[in-house]
């Protein structure tokens, strides 16, 4: 129990620190990337110099990716606490990832049947959902008939959000690594999405249950107490 509390405090510190660092990093990254793009247009560059610039732009792009897994929405200084049933968050973030789903030929199903409300930080919750939706879509990369199903219901005073994909699935061992910083099996992965998701759900004293079968798909079930 004590370990649990320490773990939970650690997660809080991690997510707060990450949010503010990410926020501060965004401006310098954008500015640097802009100037490099300008520089890249110069007619006096040698091929070697051009190569350096392009490599730098790629690396900046990667840094931006890391930040966006942590903070597409969050404004870390401004807490955004609401008391609501989570439908708006699930639906809004579903709309945000629709273009991404379409590019990957993934169909998205959405169903809602919950009358309970709870307190949560809107920014954190949206970021968490985006990360889970994105992982679901990415797990169905290259498949023809992938489906991402999002369902909100209630069970014993808990709000249940279920996010199911028909993708590659995970072994028990892979499941046990979820949420470890920088654990990623993707070529361009950050390994930060699940860490962020766990820490956001941890903040509302919720739990995430994972059910997965290799080659069949994965279900993330979030239970948030009201
Ligand atoms: P990233 O997506 O950048 O790799 P995440 O922290 O979001 O980092 O996810 C970590 C790893 O967990 C992924 O690389 C993948 O191996 C695994 N994973 C997460 N969600 C799923 C899923 N829905 N289906 C299969 N594997 C998943
Ligand atoms: Mg991810």
Q: What is the pLDDT of residues 148-202, one digit of tens each?
A: 999 999 999 999 999 999 999 999 999 999 998 889 999 888 888 999 899 889 9
148 contacts 136 by C-beta, under 8 angstroms: yes
Selection from 5-9, 87-91, 97-101, 216-220 with the highest mean pLDDT: 216-220
What phi, psi does 184 have (nearest 5°)?
A: -150, 140
Decide: 193 and 209 in contact? Cβ < 8 Å. Answer: no
| Residue 136, ligand 1, Cβ within 6 A | yes
Structure tokens given for 185: 């099996």
**What are the tens digits of pLDDT across the range 111-149?**
999 999 999 988 889 889 999 999 999 999 999 899 999
Higher pLDDT, 210 or 96: 210
**Cβ 139 under 6 angstroms from ligand 1:** yes
* Alpha-carbon span 89 to 80, nearest angstrom: 13
Given a contact cutoff of 8 angstroms between Cβ atoms, the answer to whether 18 and 67 are in contact is no
Task: Calculate how far, in angstroms, residue 168's C-alpha sits from the geometric centre of ligand 2.
Answer: 14
Ligand 1 centroid vs 173 CA: distance in angstroms?
A: 13
Token reading at 18: 């990450």
Residue 121: how many CB atoms within 10 A of its CB? Answer: 18
Which residue's CA lies nearest to atom 13 of ligand 1? 184
Quick check: CB of 166 below 6 Å from ligand 1? no
Give the count of beta carbons closer than 10 Å to the beta carbon of residue 83: 9
Residue nearest to atom 19 of ligand 1 (CA): 135
Ligand in closest contact with the CA of 139: 1
Which residues lie closer than 8 Å to 160 by C-beta, 6 or more apart? 114, 151, 152, 153, 154, 221, 222, 223, 224
- Residue 186 CA to ligand 1 centre (angstroms): 8
- The answer to whether the CB of 74 is under 6 A from ligand 1 is no
Residue 183: nearest ligand to its CA?
A: 1
pLDDT at 8 over 80: no
- Distance between CA atoms of residues 147 and 158, nearest Å: 25
8 A C-beta contact, residue 116 and residue 157:
yes
pLDDT digits (tens, 9 = 90+) for 9-40: 666 666 666 667 777 787 888 899 999 999 99
177/41 Cα distance (integer angstroms)? 44
pTM, two decimal places = 0.79
Compute, in degrees rounded to 10, the torsion defined by CA atoms 119, 125, 163, 71. -170
């Amino acid at each position: 129990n004590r370990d649990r509390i320490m773990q939970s405090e650690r997660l809080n510190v991690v997510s707060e620190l990450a949010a503010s660092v990410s926020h501060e990093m965004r401006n310098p990254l954008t500015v640097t990337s802009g100037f490099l793009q300008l520089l890249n247009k110069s007619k006096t560059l040698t091929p070697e110099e051009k190569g350096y610039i392009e490599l730098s732009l790629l690396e900046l792009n990667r840094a931006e990716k890391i930040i966006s897994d942590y903070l597409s929405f969050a404004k870390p200084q401004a807490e955004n606490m609401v008391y609501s049933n989570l439908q708006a968050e699930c639906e809004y973030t579903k709309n945000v990832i629709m273009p991404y789903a379409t590019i990957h030929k993934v169909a998205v199903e959405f169903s809602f049947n919950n009358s309970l409300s709870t307190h949560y930080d809107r920014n954190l919750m949206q970021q968490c959902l985006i990360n889970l939706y994105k992982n679901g879509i990415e797990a169905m990369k290259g498949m023809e008939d992938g489906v991402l199903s999002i369902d909100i219901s209630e069970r014993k005073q808990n709000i249940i959000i279920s996010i199911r994909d028909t993708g590659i699935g995970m072994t028990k061992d892979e499941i046990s690594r979820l949420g470890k910083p920088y654990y990623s099996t993707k070529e361009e992965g950050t390994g930060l999405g699940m860490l962020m998701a766990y820490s956001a759900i941890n903040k509302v004293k919720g739990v995430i249950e994972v059910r997965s079968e290799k080659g069949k798909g994965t279900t993330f079930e979030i239970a948030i107490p009201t």
